[in-house]
């Protein structure tokens, strides 16, 4: 589906200013009509005190309320503001991916559009970037959410993600993060992958740190997340682990599994052969015979899957990547 892009005329001075953007602030929003204007005002106050030429990119993730008309009005009155509108709701990961793709700043900061992240924490993240870190993650140490449905699952998920990915963070789910541009724009995002960006970036050898940030209770609208996303996060965690460890060498995981399964099958077959040829026992009523044959065949299938995976990895890395979003309109 082709994207319809609306381009506004600029003067040469404006184009020169855009090329000099140092900081991009990305805000994915979905049905946040009551929060847009207060958030925009708060961002403007904070960014006016940041010694970097900045831009604000709102990504409207297919809102069905008045979010987009409000964003359109803000864009018309604020040359610092850019708006990306999706044709439908693609999810926060796709919204962040669109923001990363359109960001011009050398540093990219992301935060939620529900006013729970505090824009006043942005300078603290930038200070860590200036100290040499590549990724700075916010840690909502005093989180203002329900314990059983939000905080407890988050605590468990953060512990599990840290253990599996070996990138230890207290709050993977906090959207308020700062990235160097080359990190953010070289990570393919899909599913619920946005929370795993620090872990996915770890293969580049990046330096990651945390900063304690404020967290406000939601005043307007309702949360778009709940316990239903827990399974999706766990499944994506499996994908992340695979990508981190075996993305470029799938034969090593499938081949290893296939080798041990087949080895077990051949071991059982050897035992049954000894039982038949030496001990003269019958095999026609032995379920173990069918298990041995099954394991040998399954093992060979795993090895074949690994070889096919190697071919797909080659095609994937040599081909072009398909976007996970469709832009309806770009106010630029």
Q: Domain segments of the chain: what residues?
A: 12-247, 250-311
Whole-number Cα distances in Å, 42 to 3, 38, 54, 145 = 31, 6, 14, 22
- Asked if residue 192 has pLDDT above 80, the reply is no
pLDDT (mean) for 159-186: 88
pLDDT (mean) for 309-331: 66
Select from 111, 131, 107, 134 the least CA-distant residue to 121: 111
Select from 45, 48, 206 the least CA-distant residue to 135: 206
Q: For tokens 């996915």, name the residue.
A: 200
pLDDT band at 12; cut points 50, 70, 90: very low
- Asked if residue 211 has pLDDT above 80, the reply is yes
Segment holding 131, helix H or strand E: none
* pLDDT for position 153: 77
pLDDT (mean) for 325-332: 70
Phi/psi for 28 (5° steps) reads -75, 135
H-helix segments, the chain: 12-19, 36-47, 67-77, 92-102, 122-130, 152-165, 181-184, 197-201, 230-246, 250-277, 287-318
pLDDT (mean) for 54-69: 96
* pLDDT for position 326: 58
pLDDT band at 11; cut points 50, 70, 90: very low
* pLDDT for position 10: 43
- Asked if residue 15 has pLDDT above 80, the reply is no
Comparing 306 with 175, which gets the higher pLDDT? 175
Greatest CA separation for the chain: 93
Phi/psi for 331 (5° steps) reads -90, 105
Length of the chain: 332
Q: What is the pLDDT of residues 89-104, one digit of tens each?
A: 998 989 999 999 999 9
Positive or negative, the CA dihedral 151, 156, 157, 161 is positive
pLDDT (mean) for 232-253: 72
- Asked if residue 312 has pLDDT above 50, the reply is yes
Comparing 328 with 199, which gets the higher pLDDT? 199
Distance separating alpha carbons of residues 154 and 132, to the nearest angstrom: 28
Cα torsion at 67, 72, 73, 74 (round to 10°)? 90
SS3 282: coil
Domain with residues 12-247, CATH architecture: Alpha-Beta Complex (3.90)
pLDDT (mean) for 205-225: 81
Mean of the per-residue pLDDT values of the chain: 83
pLDDT band at 147; cut points 50, 70, 90: low
Distance separating alpha carbons of residues 81 and 74, to the nearest angstrom: 7
Distance spanning both ends of the chain, measured CA to CA: 20
What's the token pair of residue 205?
Answer: 């050898």
Distance separating alpha carbons of residues 180 and 167, to the nearest angstrom: 18
At what angle are helices 250-277 and 230-246 packed, to 10 degrees? 90
Q: What is the DSSP letter of 220?
A: S
Contact 200, 243 (CB under 8 A): yes
- Secondary structure (H, E, C), 132-197: CCCEEEEEECCCCCCHHHHHHHHHHHHHHHHHHHCCCCCCCCCCCEEEEHHHHCCCCCCCCHHHHH
* pLDDT for position 7: 39
- Asked if residue 165 has pLDDT above 70, the reply is yes
SS3 34: coil
- Asked if residue 160 has pLDDT above 90, the reply is no
Q: Name 178's bridge partners.
A: 109, 136
* pLDDT for position 9: 41
Q: What is the pLDDT of residues 243-273, one digit of tens each?
A: 676 666 777 778 888 889 999 999 999 988 9
Contact 46, 120 (CB under 8 A): yes
* pLDDT for position 173: 84
CB count, 10 Å around CB of 302? Answer: 20
């Amino acid at each position: 589906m082709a994207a319809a892009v609306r381009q506004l005329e600029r003067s040469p001075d404006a184009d020169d200013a855009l090329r000099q953007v140092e900081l991009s602030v990305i805000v994915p929003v979905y049905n946040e009509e009551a929060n847009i204007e207060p958030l925009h005002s708060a961002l403007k106050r904070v960014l006016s005190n940041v010694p970097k030429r900045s831009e604000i990119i709102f990504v409207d993730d297919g809102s069905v309320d008045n979010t987009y008309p409000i964003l359109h009005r803000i864009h018309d009155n604020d040359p610092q503001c850019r708006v990306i509108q999706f044709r439908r709701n693609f999810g926060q990961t796709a919204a962040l991916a669109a923001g990363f793709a359109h960001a011009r700043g050398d540093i990219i900061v992301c935060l939620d559009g529900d006013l729970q992240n505090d824009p006043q924490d942005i300078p603290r993240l930038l200070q860590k970037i200036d100290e040499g870190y590549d990724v700075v993650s916010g840690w909502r140490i005093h989180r203002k959410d329900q314990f059983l449905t939000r905080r407890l699952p988050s605590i468990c998920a953060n512990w599990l993600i840290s253990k599996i990915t070996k990138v230890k963070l207290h709050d993977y789910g906090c959207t308020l993060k700062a990235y160097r541009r080359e990190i953010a724009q070289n990570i393919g995002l899909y599913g619920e992958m946005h929370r795993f960006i620090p872990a996915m970036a770890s293969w580049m050898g990046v330096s990651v740190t945390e900063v304690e940030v404020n967290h406000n209770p939601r005043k307007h609208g309702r949360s778009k997340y709940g316990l239903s996303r827990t399974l999706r996060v766990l499944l994506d965690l499996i994908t992340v682990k695979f990508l981190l460890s075996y993305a470029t060498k799938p034969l090593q995981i499938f081949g290893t599994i296939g080798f041990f399964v087949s080895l077990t099958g051949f071991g059982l077959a050897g035992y049954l052969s000894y039982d038949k040829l030496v001990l003269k026992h019958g095999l026609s009523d032995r379920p173990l015979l069918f298990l041995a044959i099954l394991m040998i065949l399954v093992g060979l299938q795993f090895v074949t899957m690994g070889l096919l995976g190697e071919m797909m990895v080659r095609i994937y890395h040599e081909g072009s990547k398909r976007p996970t979003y469709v832009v309806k309109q770009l106010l630029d």
